[in-house]
Chains A and B, each alone.
Chain A
């Protein structure tokens, strides 16, 4: 009797606790749904679903007048092996790599100076880097266009100085595109490198110098390896938007330098071959994904 009475309230308490836990869990589930729901819905409807449709389209055929006929063909992907399109891809990857390397060559020493500057100067210098970077991309590309034109400031200055006799054709060349990419994405390189140099322990430099290392050695054997995460992050941040750039090759390449995004644009808006355009988009995504994976692979290797 006594025992039974003692057990029952305990069971009761356990039951209550269970119910409470359950209710809290349900409420948390409900709360999560309410909080994550709107964003999730938006992502699902206006991002994931559209991407999935593009993926499905990349296996479809082009009907008459640019319509899409559902099917399961690989011909859109097979079409890449046409030299015409391989060239576009090679040009894109090449120009993006060139821009990345140039950004690295300019950005690393630049970041080094900022990171070594007196503390109160650093933020001011960083803001100075960011200001042009955060102004409208189209406007900045247009500004480059103004400088590079046949009657632009650079050509006029060179003519006036007598360095050249006729205006140099600079606009609508691969040079202009690379310049535009570097101009557009240089801060993406500077910021992560700055972050890793700022964290770098400079007493290591002294230790190395005391042990007889010269400046060159210090840079190659100590500073660079230890700031490599920043270099890798910066490189990926410059390469990805460069390889998929649309405005830069469109305005500065002027149809003479065709990159992947221009090919996609052309397939969607001019030629109206949506299935092929979709396939090109997915190859672009594959390149970006490959670059990201490579970055993580290299990053992991570093950390070990």
Chain B
């Protein structure tokens, strides 16, 4: 790339004049696109501080909507549910996702191609299809468990968590696998030459080197879980409302400023998670 630039730079001044209109349009497109990407969320955040209940006019700055959120029992319950689900789902999907990545990078087995294909399927299959498939499955499973063992189970935090693990662990596997692929295996061999057992090699060499990838995968799983709406919507039960479900319910009932405040909080949380993830990816590139 640097080579390409040095070759090109002497030519540029001559051509630039002819292309100036083109570049003007290109820059305009970039500016407009950024406005398009940011205007909706910025407007939403600004209006979450609006003192008026009516949202078309600005009536002064207030934090009332945020204070209200703090005292809102439903929001508290939804936040608690979201957190519980995301933490459990992240823990489980990080573990089984990492194991799956190791299996794909480090071992050979007969059904590997099939395994790999199946692992990528949840990423490709439309969310709505996965949502109703799990709904149908849990329904059938609960019917049979009741009929065979008299076990009374129902939709709730459990079904949501299982569903979240199912769609997020393949993402963890993909991220960790990328890290494993550019892994310097001579370090492991050196450890083993020095007499380390398989477990010691894994514990003191492989795992620490893999950690940034695993943490990035965990962050991704957490973000996916806490943001998910469609699959949660179809697999939730009474009392297992999550934050996105709560927002959806309120939007459906009519738009009020407290939805803006709640949405802004959720937006900031996912932004921080993403920035954390990007930061880790940057570090990864630096260490790799």
**A→B interface (CB under 8 Å):** 28-29, 31-40, 42-43, 46-51, 53-54, 57, 106, 109-110, 112-114, 119, 123, 127-140, 142-147, 149, 151-153, 156, 183, 186, 198, 201-203, 206, 209, 215, 240-241, 243-244, 246-247, 251, 260-261, 264-265, 268-269, 274, 277-278, 281, 284-285, 288, 292
Contact = CB atoms under 8 A, between A and B. Distances in A.
Contacts of B223: 134
Interface stretch (B63-71, B94-102, B203-211): B94-102
Dominant secondary structure at the A interface: helix
Interface string B198-232: 00000000000000000000000001000101100
B107 A32 contact: yes
Interface in B225-280: 227, 229-230, 234, 244, 247-248, 251, 255, 259-260, 263, 266-267, 270-271, 274-275, 278
Nearest to B260: A146
B73 interface: no
Contact of A53 (B41, B137, B259): B137
A109 B29 contact: yes
Contacts of B39: 147
21 contacts: A36-B99, A36-B115, A38-B99, A38-B100, A39-B173, A40-B100, A109-B25, A109-B29, A110-B30, A134-B271, A140-B41, A146-B47, A153-B43, A156-B56, A186-B36, A203-B8, A206-B11, A261-B128, A269-B234, A284-B126, A285-B129
A220 to B, nearest CB: 14
B169 A42 contact: yes
A50 B133 contact: yes
Interface of B: 1, 4, 7-8, 11, 15, 18-19, 22, 25-27, 29-30, 33-34, 36-41, 43-44, 47, 54-56, 95-97, 99-100, 102-104, 106-109, 115, 118-119, 121-122, 124-130, 132-137, 140, 162-163, 165-166, 169-170, 173, 223, 227, 229-230, 234, 244, 247-248, 251, 255, 259-260, 263, 266-267, 270-271, 274-275, 278, 282
